[in-house]
Amino acid sequence: MTTDPGFLAGLRGLAREHADLLRPTALGLDADPSLGPALLGTDPRWLRLTGMPAAYNPDPLRVGGRPVYVDRCVEQVVVMEELARVDAAAVLALPGPSMSGFVVADIADEEQRDRYYQRLADRPTWTFFGMTEPAHGSDPASMGTALRPADDGREGLLLNGTKRFVGNGARAGIGVVFARRHPGPLGVVAVLLETDRPGFTGIPLETLGLRGLQLSELRMRDVPVADADVLGRHRPATRGGMWAAVRTFNRYRPVVASFALGVAQGAHDYVVANRRQLGSGERDLLADLADRLAGTRATVMAAAESADHDPRDGTLASAAKIRATALAEESTLLALRMFGPGARWEHPLLDKWARDARAFEFMEGTSNVQRLTLAQGHLNGSLGDVRPAA
């Protein structure tokens, strides 16, 4: 596993070159999220950044001549931070595996894995991760979406339920839906599902932040499901849907933190580049912000390394998300204040970043949820001895 600074610096430089491609699309995508496929879906270079496995990625990034598939959390946080410095919403709106890819990689059988990744390799395809529900959030104990045998003489299973706040849901072609097949936590399964099946509807939701992501509501009414669609069907229930969901959250929270960190860094850089004169107090504020950005980057990197080492432990992932989310909000609001009244009108990118920053609080668990995970990790000794030195 390569995490040497030279390799990561090279990877960061490549990601920065790709980020420049997003600059012309940021405000247009924010104004009209339906433009996502036209603005982002026609350039095959994006597949190199989305974690496609080697078997389906014939043109990977190369750092020092070595292929890089951006399939490790350490690589992903470096790449995503750089892209998010320009437009986090556009990055989240790219076609590719996204969160559902973690589940497929963990528990899909060979046929399911090929069905999922080959479709993504053949043509620009958006994917979704259907967990959150309107009445129950992401609480698996209360999950209402059900997978039951058809009771009208038809063969197979039927999927019924509603998922909400699903990124790219209305434009996706394939994704993963979590549903309850039996009572108890081991009764939760993950289903690989194409969105053109009868009974499946994806409806875009109106949002203020991360509009390009096109958060959606997924409605499923008697959607036909075959046993071959159930991910992890060849595995014990203890290594099935819930097991994969927890590991996915633990690996994706550092990535969410890297998005927030990128937005915070982008706001800082914008002030440095566009404020001609700074007072001493303002210089102190920017210097303090720069220090906190560096500290948060170290925390995010530590969380990513932990996720690569043991995705069962989400302690550092929660710590990174708490810290980066708060910093994104503080940084963008500070940047607006430094441009004075009317900043949101005169600097539309800052206005957009301030709206985007708020959204990270609600992605993959709010800060209260992260604090519970962090406290549990501390009680379990995952943080080691954190007492201050005498």
Percentage of the chain beyond pLDDT 90 is 76
> For residue 62, what pLDDT is reported?
94
> For residue 389, what pLDDT is reported?
41
SS3 of residue 163 by DSSP: strand
Nearest to 260 by CA among 209, 317, 328: 328
| Average pLDDT value for residue range 232-248 | 89
- Per-residue pLDDT reduced to its tens digit, 144-162: 999 999 876 677 899 999 9
| Average pLDDT value for residue range 270-284 | 91
- Per-residue pLDDT reduced to its tens digit, 100-130: 999 999 999 999 999 999 999 999 999 999 9
What's the predicted TM-score (pTM) here? 0.93
Domain 242-380 CATH superfamily: Butyryl-CoA Dehydrogenase, subunit A, domain 3 (1.20.140.10)
- Cα separation, 169 vs 123, in Å, equals 17
- In CATH, what number does 5-107 get? 1.10.540
pLDDT surpasses 60 at 387: no
> For residue 385, what pLDDT is reported?
54
At 113, the amino acid letter reads R
Output the DSSP codes for 153-166.
Answer: S-SSEEEEEEEEEE
> For residue 184, what pLDDT is reported?
82
Burial tier of 362 (Cβ tally within 10 Å: 0-12, 13-18, 19+): middle
Structural tokens at position 349: 């990118």
Helices (H), the chain: 5-19, 26-31, 36-40, 73-92, 98-107, 110-122, 241-274, 280-309, 315-338, 343-346, 348-359, 367-379
Nearest to 320 by CA among 335, 331, 305: 305
- Per-residue pLDDT reduced to its tens digit, 83-96: 999 999 999 999 99
Residue 283's φ and ψ, nearest 5 degrees, are -65, -40
* More reliable by pLDDT, 205 or 23: 205
- Cα separation, 85 vs 81, in Å, equals 6
> For residue 96, what pLDDT is reported?
93
For the 127-239 domain, the top CATH level (class) is mainly beta
| Average pLDDT value for residue range 184-188 | 87
Same CATH fold, 127-239 and 5-107? no
- Structure confidence at residue 384 as a pLDDT band (50, 70, 90): low
Nearest to 74 by CA among 294, 252, 301: 301
pLDDT surpasses 70 at 1: no
- Cα separation, 249 vs 311, in Å, equals 9
Percentage of the chain beyond pLDDT 70 is 97
- Cα separation, 34 vs 345, in Å, equals 23
Residue 147's φ and ψ, nearest 5 degrees, are -120, 110
Domain ranges within the chain, ordered by starting residue = 5-107, 127-239, 242-380
* More reliable by pLDDT, 383 or 278: 278
- Cα separation, 174 vs 192, in Å, equals 7
